[in-house]
Amino acid sequence: MKENFKKTILIDLDGVLNIYTGNFDKDFIPPIKEGAYEFIKELSNDYTVKIFTTRNRMLASKWVIENNLQEYIDDITNVKDISYLIIDDRCINFNGDFKNLKKQIDNFKPWYKLEE
């Protein structure tokens, strides 16, 4: 009998799930971003959802509970675990070509700084 296996999606907390805009405060996690709850709930139907954050795990766990996400989040980690996909506001999708990669790195801005 084949076990029902879900692929893991690793989602960054700051800048993806919350309204973080670059002003880091180690003792405060910004409010949940509009649409994040519904997205996580839907995603958890087909995937194992883990939150990635470098924040204090207890503070992040409290944030998850305060936003009623605990039934949809499998784990909170500060390690980029093996996963099917990573969703992060600070990444570049490698397209197999190194020629323009350095330029992409040098010109990179997270989504919340694109209009600056």
The domain at 7-113 falls in which architecture?
A: 3-Layer(aba) Sandwich (3.40)
Q: SS3 of 59, please? A: helix
pLDDT score for 50: 97
> Would you place residue 116 in the very low, low, confident or very high pLDDT band (cuts 50, 70, 90)?
low
Tell me: the pLDDT tens digits for 3-50?
Answer: 578 999 999 999 999 999 888 999 999 999 999 999 999 999 999 999
pLDDT score for 30: 96
Query: Residue ranges per domain, the chain?
Result: 7-113
Q: Which 8-state DSSP code applies to residue 54?
A: S
Tell me: the pLDDT tens digits for 98-113?
Answer: 988 999 999 998 888 8
Helices (H), the chain: 36-43, 57-66, 101-106
Q: For residues 81 and 50, is the Cβ–Cβ distance under 8 A?
A: yes
